[in-house]
Amino acid sequence: MDFSQEIFRNHIAQTTPFPYLIAVERAEGIYLYTPDGKRYTDLISGIGVSNVGHRHPTIIKAIKDQLDKHLHVMVYGEFIQAATNLLAAKLTSLLPKNLDCCYFVNSGTEANEGALKLAKRYTSRTEIVSCHKSYHGSTHGSLSVSGNEIKKRSFRPLLPDVRFIEFNKMEDLTNITERTACVIMETIQGDAGVRIPHKNYLKAVRKRCHETGTLLILDEIQCGMGRTGTLFAFEQFDIAPDILTIAKAFGGGLPIGSFIASKKIMECLSHDPALGHITTFGGNPVCCASALAALNVIEEENLLRSVEEKGKRFEDFLKHPQIKEIRRIGLMFAIDFDSAERVNRIVESAKAMGVICYWFLSHPNSFRIAPPLTITEEEIRESCEVILKAIDNS
């Protein structure tokens, strides 16, 4: 096997000048292993992907079973495939009745791109309202509705007719009008440092969208699939979106996303023009088999039941006078310090001791924790001991 840093740096496109540079030979449960046998505790789930842990045996079996049947056979939407049918039936059974039609894609940003197109097509409106500090992906449309100007300015011009409001600010809801095709927001703002809305705020957003004929898109790419203690975060706020977007942990480790709406809304993409949205690999049968297995694992192993308790255990163990604030919902954390430099030192020190935390793109004074939902209390305690040492060392 070749784990050469030279090949990695020179022949694989880089996203930053300072990659994390852990060589991973294998992964199991909450752990990653290097070729020389060092073990790392993955407290970020591969950035929100491995909610049921790495290589869960139920998922591996589902993937292998599908491999024995077929791989890709046709572009999305043309052939009937059992894996895709079974996933759609399961997923819609777990959602409100108005979310009964799934469009499967390959990633979170693709799910948001499809959702934005769907809203504009269905409403025949052009204006999109999003939130400051939001993150919805890095393709052009998703970047256009993301709230970090530093990440956007080198790629302008972006999508026109996008208006931004403050997350959790009631007064800004008047900016949602009869011109607005959709409001897109994360149910929990992830990259902004785990910003949790007031319950009455999301209810007011839902009400305002209803009054103006605006579609509400909730992006649960990071906060969905049990991360907050319910399968979908919006369940905790007594509302339902018109369009839901999911990805990351949805695939159980394989790449898949979806935007989900009612059949009535979704069918407008099939005509005027036909193929109003299309993808070659969306609904890939192996990815669908993996996603279905991930949903079954969450349900059959009752993983949601212990999310809140495990989240509280992290808070119990992470007591340190230099922590400015801990924001948490379920097993989704932002840990605040006085500077980005301090956070960098803590993350690097924890990595050296075998625990993976990570940064936020848009809130450098925090580091993130979002472990697999399968983490045990003993693993929580051991991880927190390392983090506390990293804080002391920084």
Q: Which domains does the chain have, with CATH numbers?
A: 5-56+303-393 (3.90.1150.10), 58-300 (3.40.640.10)
Q: Tell me, what's the pLDDT at 294? A: 98
Q: Tell me, what's the pLDDT at 91? A: 98
Per-residue pLDDT tens over the stretch 185-224 = 999 999 999 999 999 999 999 999 999 999 999 999 999 9
Q: Tell me, what's the pLDDT at 361? A: 84
Average pLDDT over residues 50-75: 98
Residue written as tokens 């305690």?
A: 381
Q: Tell me, what's the pLDDT at 216? A: 99
Per-residue pLDDT tens over the stretch 1-56 = 789 999 999 999 999 998 999 999 999 999 999 999 999 999 999 999 999 999 99
Per-residue pLDDT tens over the stretch 256-284 = 999 999 999 999 999 999 999 999 999 99
Per-residue pLDDT tens over the stretch 91-128 = 999 999 999 999 999 999 999 999 999 999 999 999 99
- Distance of alpha carbon 340 from alpha carbon 333, whole angstroms: 16
Neighbouring CB atoms inside 10 A of 284's CB total 26
Tell me the sheet residues that pair with 358.
368
Which of 54-77 are b and which e, b meaning 16 or more Cβ less than 10 Å from the residue's Cβ? bebebbeebbeebeeeeeeeeebb
Nearest CA-CA partner of 151 in 140, 163, 162, 159: 140
Q: Tell me, what's the pLDDT at 165? A: 98
Spatial contact of 268 and 62, defined as CB atoms under 8 Å apart: no
Q: Give the tokens for residue 236.
A: 């905790």
Positive or negative: CA dihedral 363, 53, 222, 313 = negative
Residue written as tokens 């509280």?
A: 312
Q: Is the pLDDT assigned to residue 335 strictly greater than 90?
A: yes
Q: What is the mean pLDDT of the chain?
A: 97
pLDDT over 90, % of the chain: 98
Average pLDDT over residues 291-301: 98
Average pLDDT over residues 146-167: 96
Please provide the DSSP assignment of 85-126 as one string.
Answer: HHHHHHHHHTS-TT--EEEEESSHHHHHHHHHHHHHHHH---
Q: Tell me, what's the pLDDT at 266? A: 98
For 40-44, 78-82, 278-282, 360-364, which range has the lowest pLDDT when averaged over its residues? 360-364
Q: Is the pLDDT assigned to residue 143 strictly greater than 90?
A: yes
pTM confidence score: 0.97
- Distance of alpha carbon 45 from alpha carbon 40, whole angstroms: 12
Q: Is the pLDDT assigned to residue 385 strictly greater than 90?
A: yes
Pairing status of strand 31-33 against strand 26-28 = antiparallel
Q: Tell me, what's the pLDDT at 2? A: 86
Q: Is the pLDDT assigned to residue 159 strictly greater than 90?
A: yes
Q: Name the 3-class secondary structure at 384.
A: helix
Average pLDDT over residues 125-153: 96
Q: Is the pLDDT assigned to residue 229 strictly greater than 90?
A: yes
